[in-house]
Structure 1
Amino acid sequence: MPKRILEMTAIEVARLREDGDHSVGGVSGLYLQIIGASRCWMLRYTHLGKRKRMGLGIYPTISLAVARDSARAAAALVQTGIDPKRAREDEREAARMHDAKQLTFKQAGEAFIKEHEPGWKNLKHIDQWKNTLATYAYPKIGKLLLSQIDQAYVLQVISPIWSTKTETASRMRGRIEQILDWATVHGHRSGVNPARWRGQLEYLLPNPDKVAPIEHHEAVPYEDLPQVYKQLCAIKGQAARALRFVIFTAGRSGEVRGMKWQEVDLFRAVWTIPGERMKSGREHRVVLPPQAVEFLRNQPRRKDREDLVFPSPRGTFLSDSTLSKLMRDHKINGVPHGFRSTFRDWAGETTHHPRDAIELCIAHVIDNKTEAAYRRGDMIKKRVAIMKDWADYATSETTNPA
């Protein structure tokens, strides 16, 4: 029997030149396949009665010794009933899928925003997400794979600003937590979320409420409201008129500033705010007291593209800062959003109207989920009475509220 059938040396393998399959011995079925300048290790084997061939690498990148080790490992799999070629393909596919799932934190953050952006109505909210991530998170953990991010990396982002910019840091923590939760659901990472507050970071960082207590929207005391409304009546301009309508409806500043004439039914005294402009995402019917209806009848209407009820001089949306500045300039202690608290305090402390009806007036969700599930209507008749009493109270010191 020729020596090459038994076992060739590395030197003898290097001298092979003839095209074809050359058995090198040492392991049954191991060959060096030569086609022109190409040299490749091949293993012939039989699995489930079928003859198969499996490549083991290119010579001389893969040495004779390594080729024999690979051939022995493959032969061992065949002995256990496993197809080594199929096993290798499955392993490579698993590795490919694993690599495909590996995202950096920045890639995950951008994907998260893109996926959720259609449901975010507030452009300012979208900008805040993008800007805070770009400012605080991406420079420190943006290039890290999601699987690499642990508590230490999360703390690198939020610890430096936890005491100086507590609200920003707290929101940043929450955004990192949401992105990592999203990544877990999508199969990009596994395990406990390192940005979670309860049970984890709460033991490593001081409570944000104690570091920087929450500052609630400053509100005009309800005892002062009639005088404040009278003061606003003496101020010219759309900002003052918008604030007066905020008072009439106990609505949010953004809802009033974005109000359009097609949303108003003066005959039925109802203003219907579409879901895309509501914080809750659900359509809300606002009851208009008689004073608000008369107010709108006297409100000049511009035939422009936006058809806004309270347009700026250029026909665009009034900014929230415009309303806030007016209150500061005229020494009205409060902010536009605070009039909702003024209404809630007045209704709760001076009237006997049903609590749930009061909450619906300001588009708050009923706390009791069971009760909310059974309540199909929006208590419109009860809200009519509440808003009339409120408007009567607000205009009690004003001779011509419209």
Structure 2
Amino acid sequence: MDMLRDVTAKAIKPNDKPIPDGTVTGLRLHPTKTKARGAWKLRFVSPETGDRRDMGLGIYPDVTINEARRLANQARSQIALRIDPISARTSEKKAAQIEANILTFEDAAQKVHTNSKAGWKNGKHQAQWITTLRTYVFPNMGHKLLSEIDVNDVAETLRPIWLTKIETASRVKQRIHHVMEWACAQQIIVGNPVNGVQHLLPKQPSASIRVQNFPAMPWRIIPNFVEKDIGDANNVSRALLLFVILTAVRSGEARKAQWSEFDLKQRIWTIPANRMKAQVMHRVPLSGPVLKLLEKQQQKPSKRDLVFPSTRAGGELTDMALTSFLRKHRAVSDTLGRSATAHGFRSSFRDWASENGYPRDYAERALAHKIKNSVEASYHRTDLLEKRRSMMEDWAIHVISEKKV
């Protein structure tokens, strides 16, 4: 008997005879009312009753030939153990139904989190995923049974943050949806109650209206700020902030900087791809003032390879270290009522570069911005390191200038 292949399976028509698989005893592809679609069935003799039975294994091509064989072999293994696979499947469904009657949303969320977190590389995301549910969902519907939750429950859970914390609400909605999709896949519930919830909630402002830039310090007043508030960078927060300003990197990239990434002789800092937002390795040319700053940091004892370790625990500084410093010193920004942010200094640098006539490519490479146009990106195969070096030296001269601008 020939082994069934896709070319034959795709040719099946409504009035054809069942096609044997040719590898697994009893596995056949039966015609359906639709051309090129067939129903997998495994014929066997029940070890429990002695009756001949047909076990459905899904529809081709949704269930591929290889998948059907795997399922059929799995059933044959049960038969060899004198287990009726249809009876076993029915028992599993009943068990799932029983679980549906006792499993709460919180229980299900914990299961999903445990099963999924191994695939999430970002530890912070692992923690935030379940934390947002504990904060915004569990108090309202965490105690509810999965089978009892409907679209109104989801809407009332999201309503308090739907317009006031739009990004958070979006993430919470996605995570509720994830949990309920898991419940559907487990055959605990039939439909996902998150679908259509937006029709019970007011329309959110468009993304273009919601987007706010990070408050940035105007580039002309940075020298005054550095001289007055950072000074000789005699503590780790000041040193880190000055480093962020001079290199125009993201604060997270600077906080996690390790000595092994630096080639001080070649005056290059190479940030590995796994620490970059775009997941692409980034090289930073080190200006004279940056080298002096690093030399000072080398003289400070550190238990780890971190360039800017926390003075308390020796680990990474938190993202609040710079935020607190800037707020405490009331760092002036271009946003009324808000202090400048560490990330905003990247915008300050970009404005300085533009207004001082530096090519756009140089500035964009310095900021490690991803080129959105795929065609344009394919032609940009250099990071313009040496071209950027003189620009970063000029930027450093501006930043540490004592001249009141």
For the superposition of Structure 1 and Structure 2, which TM-score range results when normalised by the shorter chain?
Answer: 0.5 to 0.7
- Residue 240 of structure 1 corresponds to 238
2:382 — aligned with what?
Answer: 377
The alignment partner of 1:286 has SS state of strand
Q: Distance in 1 between matches of 2:352 and 2:199?
A: 37
Counterpart of 2:152? 152
Compute the displacement of 1:266 (Å): 0.8
Alpha-carbon distance in structure 2 between the residues aligned to 1:190 and 1:165: 29
Instruction: Show CA shifts across 1:217-246 (max 9, x none).
Output: 211112222222222225632211111000
Other-structure match for 2:225: 228
**Structure 2 CA distance for aligned equivalents of residues 311 and 52 of structure 1:** 67
SS of 1:299's partner is helix
- Would the alpha carbon gap of residues 183 and 375 (structure 1) be closer, same or farther in structure 2, given more than 3 Å must change? farther
Whole-Å separation in 2 of the counterparts to 1:52 and 1:319: 63
> What SS does structure 2 have at the residue aligned with 1:217?
coil
Give the secondary-structure state (helix, strand or coil) at the position aligned to 2:283: strand
2:330 corresponds in structure 1 to: 331
**Paired position in structure 2 for 1:393:** 398
Matched, 1:353 2:359: yes
Task: Give the structure 1 partner of residue 291 of structure 2.
Answer: 293
Distance 1:82 1:154 in 2: 43
3-state SS of paired residue (2:137) = helix
Q: 2:126 aligns to what SS in structure 1?
A: helix
Which deviates more, 201-210 or 156-165? 201-210
SS of residue paired to 1:298: helix
Task: Give the letter aligned to residue 288 of structure 1.
Answer: L
Cross-structure match for 1:43? none
**What is the root-mean-square deviation of aligned Cα atoms in Å?**
4.1
Q: Which amino acid aligns with 2:284?
A: V
Cα drift, residue 145 of structure 1: 6.7
TM-score (norm 2): 0.65
Assess, with a 3 A threshold, how the Cα gap between structure 1 residues 298 and 107 changes in structure 2: closer, same or farther: same
How many pairs align?
A: 321
Paired amino acid for 1:251: V
Q: Which amino acid aligns with 1:351?
A: G
Q: What are structure 2's unaligned runs of at least 5 residues? A: 1-42, 56-78, 333-339
Structure-2 residue corresponding to 1:320: 319
Report if the CA contact (8 A) 1:167-1:208 is conserved: no
Match of 1:277 among 275, 278, 282: 275
1 CA distance for matches of 2:96 and 2:192? 21
CA contact (8 A) 1:217 1:335 kept: yes
Residue equivalent to 1:90: 86
Distance 1:203 1:349 in 2: 48
* CA contact 2:302–2:309 (8 Å) conserved in 1: no
Instruction: State the one-letter code of the partner of 1:320.
Output: D
Alignment match of 1:267 (pick from 265, 282, 285): 265
- Equivalent residues of 2:285, 2:392 under 8 A apart: yes
Q: TM-score, normalised by structure 1?
A: 0.65
Q: Which runs of 5+ in 1 are unaligned?
A: 1-47, 56-77
1:288, CA displacement in angstroms?
Answer: 1.8
| Partner amino acid, structure 1, of 2:317 | L
SS of the residue 1:271 aligns to:
strand
Once the two structures are TM-superposed, the CA of residue 160 in structure 1 deviates from its matched residue by: 2.6
The Cα of 1:367 is off from its aligned counterpart by: 0.8
SS in structure 2 of the partner of residue 272 of structure 1:
strand
SS where residue 265 of structure 2 aligns?
coil
Counterpart in the other structure of 1:218: 215
Contact 1:146–1:188 under 8 Å retained in 2: no
Q: Which residue of 1 aligns with 2:18?
A: none
When Rg is computed on C-alpha atoms for both structures, the one with the higher figure is 1
Cα deviation, residue 149, structure 1: 5.3
Which whole-Å CA distance do the structure 2 matches of 1:237 and 1:122 have between them? 28
Equivalent position SS for 2:297? coil
